[in-house]
Structure 1
Amino acid sequence: MAPETAPEAAPQPEAGPGPGAGPGAEPVPAPRRRPRVARTIGLLAVAAVLGLVGGTAVGYRVQADREPVALPPLNQPGLAYPAKPLPEERKPKPLPAAEDLRTAAEGDLRKLLVAKPAGAKANPYQGDGWLPVQRFAAEFTSPGGSLDHQLDLGIRRIAQSAWATGEHRTVEIRLVQYRAGDFLGAREYIASQQDYMPRKDYAGGEGTSLKGSADGRLYVFPVERKPGYLDFHHARAYFYRGDIAVEIFISDTKKISVKDIGSLAERQLERL
């Protein structure tokens, strides 16, 4: 058998003078052609797609020709139901209103506010009763964005109580109730407020945990001193119970202790 020979190269065009060359100019070699790599890659891609489609079709055909196999039994036993409903004397009785937290929260929210101490005077900066949502949002840095955020959380209504004691101490308590939904708006609001507290322009620390609550915190702010003014002391409490967020503010020209804000927060938590 004769040995294989390499295929003949394709004939190349003769070299000629380049554009604008005069008589006697040296001939310019013709440019080489690039191999048709793109066409080869395209053929390989088409072949891969056809192979994938063909393999999938064969797999479906093989599975369709097989006999069905029964699934293994479930581990959960069958649910049993009583043949007859329970008699009236054995049915569980509904909780009384005093023990049903949901019933209490659906009533007059203002009745859940902690009672004012004896001898308390009216707060010159805040009043009692219902606080409109628009006014609540207006107290934030960005009222429009805060109102949109509160509506997204499902804010429902706000009850507040405020009073003044001593020479310059003022107290304000707010119960911010949210609608039931996929998440707890009260928890989201309290968490967002607590995120601000460690900043230097706020409490400057993590605060103290509130006894009896899951995530409640107490914050005593650093004293503010300005020439020509009395010292300003400030403390806050943030916690929630169910769909109600609670925020408490105490301001005074004298020092406010953690015990002062903590005892008031504990009494409000017991009311909920």
Structure 2
Amino acid sequence: MTEQTAPPADVAVSATTTLPPVPKGPPPPPVREEGPAPATPRPPRRALRAVLRWTAAVLVLGGLGAGTVAGITSMKRTDVPGLATQDDGRWDYPVLSLPALPADAARPYSDSNTAEVHHADLRRLLLPLPAGATADKELAGGWVDIARYTAEYGKDDRAALTQYLKDSALRHITARGWTMPDGTSSRVYLLQFNSVAYSTAFNDELFESDSLPRPLVGTTEPDFDEDWASDARAEFTTVRAFSEAEPYGTEQVRHGYVLAGDTLALVVHSRKGKAGTDAVPFHQTLILQDQLLG
């Protein structure tokens, strides 16, 4: 009888080891089963797939979390529910847009426009009414005369300003006024001259030889608005803001000037009562009017 050849002693036998062919011979004696066969362990490949599935899930969740954080940090604070800032007093103005220019006309600060003339219809450069405002029928966005403009100043200054405007190269004046629900009265005047030289000369006349302008009607000498940011203006314009300091009379007046090329703007806010006028909407109005002219 041929004996079965055993594998060499230094070769380990495992479930994956291939044994040499066994020569034919009598079958081996039966092996008695003493209990249920042990469970076959799962192949390592299944465990690998499970690990990969969990890893992918963690990466997806991590990516979603990072995407949410990136989305929130890139949004404005007022766009995030629950993080909107409280109302700071700004008025709700409509979206501003510049009017179309006539054919072949240049913007006031172009190299070809040395006189810095605004060729657009000046009435279209007036700031529109904010939401909730009641329009002033006398200052409805049309043309006004010199007398209506100089009425904003004290009686001692009206005659001199009127004569100066009549003798200068003033083209026209447009104005718009309104009243807000809190009682704030607003007026905006735009005075257009033939060139930047004439508008600058009238601006100097308003300020005379002092850094403070002529006072408006019902006010004393104005003070600089300490809350005004001097850099809050368009690139080529000059903006100056003033506020009536306490103790003021029955109402407080804030006003500011915008010198923009051939045009000078006067913005006035006034409100009766001890509370006075709010700085935020006044600055907002002044900045937006400056942007339309700049």
Q: TM-score, normalised by structure 1?
A: 0.53
- Three-state SS of the structure 2 residue aligned to 1:217 is strand
The CA distance in 1 between the partners of 2:135 and 2:231, in whole Å, is 27
Aligned counterpart, 2:189: 174
| Corresponding position: 1:204 with 2:223 | yes
Alpha-carbon deviation of 1:96?
A: 7.4
| Corresponding position: 1:258 with 2:273 | no
Deviations for 1:36-79, whole angstroms, at most 9, x for unmatched residues?
Answer: xxxxxxxxxxxxxxxxxxxxxxxxxxxxxxxxxxxxxxxxxxxx
Amino acid at match of 1:171: S
RCO higher in 1 or 2 (8 Å CA, sep ≥ 6)? 2
Aligned counterpart, 1:164: 179
- How many residues are paired up? 173
Amino acid at match of 1:131: V
Aligned counterpart, 1:232: 251
Amino acid at match of 2:163: D
Deviations for 1:130-182, whole angstroms, at most 9, x for unmatched residues?
Answer: 111244345543544322211333111001111110132110001100113xx
Alpha-carbon deviation of 1:233?
A: 1.5
- Three-state SS of the structure 2 residue aligned to 1:267 is helix
| Corresponding position: 1:220 with 2:227 | no
Alpha-carbon deviation of 1:267?
A: 0.6
Amino acid at match of 2:161: S
Quick check: 247-256 or 154-163, which moved more? 247-256
Alpha-carbon deviation of 1:225?
A: 5.2
The CA distance in 2 between the partners of 1:152 and 1:201, in whole Å, is 28
Amino acid at match of 2:107: D
- Three-state SS of the structure 2 residue aligned to 1:265 is helix
Aligned counterpart, 1:271: 292
Q: Is the 8 A contact 2:223 2:243 kept in 1?
A: no
The CA distance in 1 between the partners of 2:105 and 2:181, in whole Å, is 34
What are the residue-to-residue correspondences of 1:136-175 with 2, within 5 Å?
Answer: 136-137=149-150, 140=153, 141=155, 142-175=157-190
Alpha-carbon deviation of 1:190?
A: 2.5
Q: Is the 8 A contact 1:98 1:104 kept in 2?
A: no
Alpha-carbon deviation of 1:219?
A: 0.9
Specify which of 196, 203, 223 is matched with residue 190 of structure 1.
203
The CA distance in 2 between the partners of 1:178 and 1:127, in whole Å, is 21
Aligned counterpart, 1:241: 260
- Three-state SS of the structure 1 residue aligned to 2:190 is strand
Aligned counterpart, 1:105: 118
Name stretches of at least 5 consecutive residues in structure 1 with no aligned partner.
1-93
- Three-state SS of the structure 2 residue aligned to 1:184 is helix
Specify which of 90, 99, 117 is matched with residue 130 of structure 2.
117
Task: Give the direction of change, closer, same or farther, for the CA distance of 1:138–1:167 in structure 2 (3 Å limit).
Answer: closer
Q: Is the 8 A contact 2:193 2:199 kept in 1?
A: yes
Q: Is the 8 A contact 1:187 1:240 kept in 2?
A: yes
Deviations for 1:80-103, whole angstroms, at most 9, x for unmatched residues?
Answer: xxxxxxxxxxxxxx9977973479
Amino acid at match of 1:100: R
- Three-state SS of the structure 2 residue aligned to 1:123 is strand
Larger radius of gyration: 2
Q: TM-score, normalised by structure 2?
A: 0.50
